[in-house]
Structure 1
């Protein structure tokens, strides 16, 4: 007995020493932007409005967190801050349509991953309340023009509700733009498939129908519960059924993660059967179901452009060309960054769009896929996604084309608040640059 007590004591002592030697978990160094207190006039830049024509040599005025005017030779209001944007480009903040930012810090460290709840049916789970405002991935993403993101839970059949978050603020409440943008449903896979939201499989089986039984039951129970709510006859509150009511009423879409043709077809049939609003997420085979998607007015959130082909017999550029194929078919779509490296790769959103340009999209269409199209699909286009008078002043300035890797973001604002563009990346760059500057000259 004494041996085991001694061994346990030694184990705790070693653990204590290890914890003491580790750096404490601290918040990111960047201070959130202060509310806008005076007008800001961006002078002489190339303005990519997205919703209209590109304005070369234009001015943009915003005040109180809202865009007031876009044009040329705008008179600067009294006490306005004038930013010289000559030779630079002005864009609306990009929106990542599918990510785990704020829910995952380091994917290989389980304690830093907060995406999944226990159980198969969790419609009451909300990503917004688990969002970490101090994640180091947030400054990295916004330093490349990604100023808003849809962050989603995962796991089970019904994972919970996704949220639209602004990438600046002190708390998750400060950073919430729209707390519930959709209910995440992981559509059953048919046959052997790869793992991950962006994967698709080869082969099919009849097992998917049985796997859908819990979802059928959930929808029926939610409808019955809604009738009791209307009649004020609910005896015991059920948080899961309460959470389903916006979906049942058509106020919130089901974000159905599906990739194969059979998955997509059965998901559309299911939503039509229960008259539910649907957004297809993933969509590796969406181009093969384009007529069905267009007829049913179902938009597609392309999980990622940087993906391998879904099948062995698919062309190497099957996913790279998917946005252009959906564009040609008249199917609404937007682009996200979900994939192998998770939240740390949100910063690469403009390069996902750029790759789609290399495989058929125009630059304007690619920019729309990561701005206005995303805003329209998630119901926030009245405030985000384009540069128009009356919309939020969520925008950034670059020294070149944002779709090109060498381009740097020089200024950014979220609802008029100036954003700190430093990050762990820039801090390490500045640190080690000094080392080489101090090195003896040969």
Structure 2
């Protein structure tokens, strides 16, 4: 059952039909953003269901996070009759999204070249590992492109590359796909024609490390990994304080440095000409940081947080993701919403999920529909396409749909 309706204003993509041939994270993220913005997103799953429904460990949250506000149909598009259904469904859409290997969709007449002949207004977003070029046929994963694209090098320590702590390229790659769709919709409103949009994991990763590439182009020095980086700020660090707790503290401008020193009673440091400007403090970090670490070591993290909150300086406790469920800001602002789980041992239970980090006209984009049960919308979607009950039954009997 869907969450209860609200009195919120109409969503910007209300009435837009999206058919999504996607799996894992990148493609589903693209569809999620369009769905949260109001599009009618139909997720085409294999007969056995999207395999992210049953992943373990860090994959256990994939399906419920990236598939709310969508419908689910089960089509075996490897089956000739299933492929016909898939093509008919795709041709009826405003937008088709996919994230399979290059050439896969073309085998079934589900690529842009084939579908655009049937629907010239179609916008087709292909979420790939690489944009067209020498690497386009490589198998890509988020971790693969983090390694080859410099992000793992920047995240870990020297000699110990480390992937980022979230699926940053998958999620951002899907986000750029959705941005491309929005741009193509505007252009379609002008020209009356659709187009193909492509987004890719590797190129997304390159954009993320672009600042480090330009650092080298400008300074002639390769960027150090983040734990060993030359910070652009005098104070921008994690401090270990009383009881072994940790807290992040920062002062990134000269005015913040003055406030930092006044609040902590460091009049001597404020008066020291060696630390007068931010760049001075950056150059003096080898001398300044041991002093600050020593002076702050006996302070309580809670006291420092209260002090920095009061005087308006940047600070942060070091939290685990699970602790965010109790975060007072997230709870007060409606950043978390209830969904009902569809699979596994906790199927039917209600948990909270993170919403997109934006508001439209003061409203969060909420959960209109829970993540779909496997194939729960197959009959309704096929009926809307013009299939009769007997035709649907025959397709089920042939195992072309389920």
TM range (shorter): under 0.3
Larger radius of gyration: 2
Tell me the TM-score normalized by structure 1: 0.24
Larger helix proportion, structure 1 or 2? Answer: 2
Tell me the TM-score normalized by structure 2: 0.26
